[in-house]
Amino acid sequence: MIKRTVYFGNPAYLSMNKQQLVVNYPKVEEAKTVPIEDLGIVFLDHPQITITQPLISKLLDYNVALITCNERHLPQGLMLNLDGHHTQQAQLAAQIEASAALKDRIWKTVIQQKIYNQAAVLKLTGASIENMNYWASQVKNGDPDNYEGRAAAHYWKTVFVDYIEGFTRGRFEAAPNSLLNYGYAILRAVVARSLVGSGLHPSLGIHHHNKYNAYCLADDIMEPYRPYVDQLVLKILEDEEGEVELTWDIKSILLTIPTLDVIINQKRKPLMLAVQQTTASLAACYLKERKKLKLPVWEI
Binding site for Mn(2+): what residues are annotated? Answer: 148, 208, 223
Alpha-helical (H) ranges within the chain are: 53-61, 88-97, 100-124, 130-138, 147-158, 177-197, 216-221, 226-240, 248-254, 271-286
Whether 43 contacts 73, CB under 8 Å:
no
- Range 125-141 burial, b when 16+ CB lie within 10 A, else e: bebebebbbebbeebee
Binding-site residue positions:
148, 208, 223
Does residue 284 come out as left (phi exceeding 0), alpha (psi in the -120 to 50 range) or beta? alpha
CA distance linking residue 24 with residue 26, whole number of Å: 7
- The angle subtended at Cα 209 by Cα 207 and Cα 215, nearest 5°, is 90
HEC profile of 218-231 = HHHHCHHHHHHHHH
Helix (H, G, I), strand (E, B) or coil at 163: coil
Rounded to 5 degrees, φ, ψ at 295 are -130, 155
Question: Could you give the CA distance from residue 243 to residue 175 in angstroms, rounded to a whole number?
Answer: 7
With contact defined as beta carbons under 8 Å apart, do 19 and 59 qualify? no
